[in-house]
Each structure stands twice: as C-alpha cells, then as structure tokens.
Structure 1
C-alpha cells in the first residue's frame, strides 16, 4: 500500500476520506486538483503534505505548455501560491514549496527548470521513506517488551510517503521482535485514529484497542498505557509541538500521571523561524466536520462550532522528540539548535 506515487505526469494517491470501507486510488493531473486533495484531506499528515505539494509543482513543470523559462516560472509560482494556502499549520508544506521555488528560480533554462523541479519532488518522496525508516529505528529503543503504547491521530504510511513517523517507531520495534500493545484514540472530528490508525495497525498485525478521545484520562490514570507516541505537524524552535487537536490534552494528562510523552517527527518538521508555538497559525476547518458524521447531522440546527485542526503542546510537557538524527531531550531548545547546527 503506497500513499502516493509519481506516474510521470500525474500523481496517484489514496483517497483517505474513503478508508477503511473503501481503498480508492485517485489520479491528480494539475495543481488545482492537488490543492483540492490537500484541502479536503484526501491526503493528510505533515510529511505527506510536503511531498504532495512538491509533486504538485512537478506536475506544472512536467505538463506546462510554456515556451520559455520565465513563463514556466510564473506558472510554478502561481501554483505554489494556490497550494500554499490549503493547509497553513503543517510546516512541511511551505518547506517543500520553498525548496521547489528555489530550484526553479536558480534554473537558467526552461529544460533545466523542469528537470530540477521534478527531480527534487521525486527525491523528497524517496527521502521521506528513508528518513522514516531511520527514525523508526531510533525511536524503537524507547519501546520495551510488554509495553502498552497510546497513540493519537494517524502517523503511519497514510501520513507519509511511506513507513510512518510515530507509527514507524511501532513498526520498527515490532520488526525487532518486541511484543507490545497499542491503544489508539478515535481522533475526532474526522476519526483518523479509528479509520486510519486502526486500519494500519491491523494490517501490520500489531494488537490495537480503540478508545474515544475522552477516555485518555482514565487510561493513563490507571496506567493502562505506559508511554505516549504522537507525530508533529510543526515543532517550534523552543520545542513546542503543534499536532492534531487533542494532543495537548493527552500531554497534560500524561504529565500528571508520570507517563512519558514522545513526539516523533523528521527534522523537516522543525521550524526554527517560529520561536514558540504561540506563533503558529492554527487551521480552522469547516464546521460540518463537527456537526456531521458521514453526512448525517448529529447536532441541532443553529449551533455554532469551534473546529481548530491542531493544538500546541508546550515543550515542558514533552519528554523527548524522536528524529532521524537522534532523540532530543530537554532542554529542547538547546537540543534543537545542536542537532540542526
């Protein structure tokens, strides 16, 4: 199962809104279709968002009818502007777009620009998989035989170009012969934990128990889980972790009951230009995601809705951050500076 593929002029993705009831592949042929897929969360997860954004610009470079360099550059820049607006919180999106634009602007000819933008996107796709495998091996040392691990949202193959971030740690530990159990939150409002994480863990043969988000306090207070592993959509320079809504609540409860809380993310998710989590723009999504489940309304008419997609966990509540370059321990701000130096 591959979450994304480059097909030499088009992109093939899994429509994640249809899982787990239907495994449906969709082909994207232009930047507008890429933007719609990102906005509607047909593709989601910070690393995958970055890869798909880069591939979207590769589509423009590959399929453009431009006859000279500057015209092609304008098309790529216009597409980048459209794609950039789709998901403002995940830093991987802007990181990938900025790299592609830098390559395009540095190109001296139209053919060189095509080659550079397409080559970069394919490299990002392949590198994300190798980075996740490295990260999985690094983080696997934190899991012991007999552990029960709590996870939130989805951080597996479906959130990346392959293998996964926090899920990759579980996958690596399982592959090493360690035996443990997983408790997955359902992850309201779009149920990525129930629909996607449970789907992937079952596929991997790793025992998983599903709970509602509101059960986390009970689970951690009774020591039904010994560790928490989550991903990250953006990590600020001071170590604050921006991740799926509900993450900070889990971190606060974990701290209260002495349960280690780990965030797993590639260094591309660390945004040193953002001093703290307070500076992160939090995406506010459509109210219907809260008011409806699979198109059926579950709340009275006229009820206002607050629907932020992410929240920020202060660095003080993070036990460590797992990256492909090693595990970062507090003080996280200094650890981040050291590893990115």
Structure 2
C-alpha cells in the first residue's frame, strides 16, 4: 500500500535552500532561507534543523547553494576544491556526535580529486560537482523508504492472532529528521499504510521535547493512531500494555553495534530487555561509523543548561541550579535486537562484517 505524502524539512532547487524552522513547531510552520554554509552551521547548531540525516543533507546543500550562487568568484578548479573542503569540514563541527555529516563530507571530498583529473573545464567541473551533491537529497529519501519496508517486514513477525502492533518510539525520526518519510518513524508510517499498526506510542523526549513538539506534529498531520507518554512512564507502559517492539533512530552506530541516540534511549533499551520486548535501531548506513570500534569512542555533545531549566522562556528551575545536559547516550549492542538499514536488518555482532562486504561490492558510494 502506498503511504501518503509527508512533511518536508528541506525544500531545495539549484541555488535555493529552504528549511523548516523546527524551533517554531508546533505553533508555527515557517521555512527559512539558507544561503551559505555559515547559515547552515548556525541552523544545525541551534537545532533549527535536527536529525542526523537532515543535518547532513542540509549541510551539503548549503555548500551547493553557496557554490552555485558565487561561482563567478572561482578562477580555478583548485580554488573550488579548497572552498568545498573548508566549508564541509566547518559544518562537521556544528554537532559532532551525529556521524552523517562527517560521512557525507568525506564522500564529497574523496570525489573532488578524481573529478579534477577527469574534468578540466571549470564551469563543467562545478556543474558535475553540484549534480553529485544534489544526489544526497534523493538518496536519503530512497534509503528511508527501504528502511520502512525492511522494518515493516521485520515487525510483522511479532503479529499473532491477527492482532495489530503497538510500537514505542523515542525522539523524532520522521520527515522532520530526514529528507522525507523517516527512519524509525518511517517504519511506523509503513506499518500504518499496511494497516497493521494499532498504536504508535512515543515519548515527549525531554529536555528538548522533540517527541511532543515534532513527532506529535507528524503523527497528527498523517492521521496515524498514536499515544504520547512522558519519558518517565515507559516502564509502566511496558509492564501494563502490549508493546510489541521499541524502534528508535541513531546518530552514530559503531562497528560493534553500540549506538548513540537521543538521551533517554539507553534506559528504554534496559526496560525493553527487562520486559522481553525487542529493541531495534533504524538508521541508514551513513549513520554507521566503522572507524569507531565501540560506543566508548563516541563524543557526546553537551547542550546548554537552559534547555532543561526553561521552556519557551519560562523558568522551570531556580536560577543558579547546576545542570548536566548530555544530548545523547550510548546503548550497548547487547541490548539491541537488530539494526534496520536500507540494505536489510543486521544483528549487532554481524554488522561490521556484512557492511564491509557490502562496501567491497559497491562500485560507487551513491
């Protein structure tokens, strides 16, 4: 069954990039223009746009827009290479935990030198480079739909007695975190389209409320049956309601299957293990970092204390209170049932070997 059109976090045509300002959701739906890599860095850092896949595509396309609109200032291919390399490396620093931007930057930088050897005309070089960078937009959407299909097929093994599924998810992993459709929320979308979803339970996701602000916005928009819970209710929910699986996204997956995701993911995995509920990660292979052997090597971003102590400028805690606000936690591979990617579903202990074999078989990264 075909799924309905979903929200767009990113709107692009050559020379123009608009992103949905997610800081204003759900009260206002406003798109803002991104003209330069610096604009994108600020949008990513302030979480005006968020979600590892969306961060990468926004970053890449911001460089593409800046390159296209300022192409007259470049006098050589080497000056283009220097510009692209500098801007991409700068964008990687906006939110270091999410690996997708790093992976995309490396892919493009690795593409620059061979392209230089092939194409000596400056105008054609820029055009070919723009074509390559723009492929990331469509690639993300294709990957998300494949994740949705593989995930829905996997979830159907938990259907018994012709009953529908109750799935719990965390944070926002839908159209607002990607180019479209989503990863973990994309699987939920596909289950709803297949008419096998009973309820999508989701957490509010403190302290930044990506669940109550963004996931709720998407589920209401798409008319998917849902129920929101506070983060602290997950244990009771699992004990008293039939939860068939927990599916979350990922900002970085290491070679052994350890996974960094939005803070609160680790405790959901522990609760799922205790209640014998399957726990899945849904992520494109661009979120998998085989250069990191385990989650101990992942840098965890620390966010401003105001995200915990205030909501929309209203104080929730006394002035001067001390705060610890990591944006992510790491879920050990031992708690993960499977990792759902655009190439299929892998157990954590087979992830590295199968992905390396896959990489060897691919001629081109895109």
Q: Same fold (TM over 0.5)?
A: yes
The answer to whether structure 1 residue 86 and structure 2 residue 94 are counterparts is yes
TM-score under structure 1 length normalisation = 0.96
Q: Distance in 1 between matches of 2:129 and 2:40?
A: 16
What secondary structure is seen at the aligned counterpart in 1 of 2:291? Answer: coil
Pick one of 123, 132, 155 that aligns with 2:144. 132
The answer to whether structure 1 residue 207 and structure 2 residue 225 are counterparts is yes
What secondary structure is seen at the aligned counterpart in 1 of 2:176? Answer: helix
RMSD (Å) for aligned C-alpha atoms: 1.4
The answer to whether structure 1 residue 24 and structure 2 residue 30 are counterparts is yes
CA contact (8 A) 1:60 1:79 kept: no
Residue in 2 aligned with 1:228? 246
CA contact (8 A) 1:103 1:113 kept: no
Q: State the Cα deviation string for residues 231-257 of structure 1 (Å, max 9, x = none).
A: 111110000111000000000011011
Residue in 2 aligned with 1:33? 39
Q: Distance in 1 between matches of 2:101 and 2:197?
A: 35
Alignment map for 1:1-341 (pairs within 5 Å) = 1-64=7-70, 65-108=73-116, 109=120, 110-141=122-153, 142-143=155-156, 144=159, 145-329=163-347, 332-341=348-357
Q: Distance in 2 between matches of 1:10 and 1:284?
A: 32
Q: Distance in 1 between matches of 2:315 and 2:204?
A: 19
Per mean C-alpha deviation after superposition, the further-off stretch among 49-58 and 231-240 is 49-58
What secondary structure is seen at the aligned counterpart in 1 of 2:18? Answer: strand
Unaligned runs of 5+ in 2: 1-6, 358-366
Per mean C-alpha deviation after superposition, the further-off stretch among 217-226 and 255-264 is 217-226
The CA deviation at 1:309 is: 0.7
CA contact (8 A) 1:61 1:117 kept: no
Unaligned runs of 5+ in 1: none
The CA deviation at 1:223 is: 3.5
Q: Distance in 1 between matches of 2:349 and 2:197?
A: 33
The CA deviation at 1:213 is: 0.6
CA contact (8 A) 1:4 1:12 kept: yes
CA contact (8 A) 1:132 1:168 kept: yes
The CA deviation at 1:288 is: 1.1
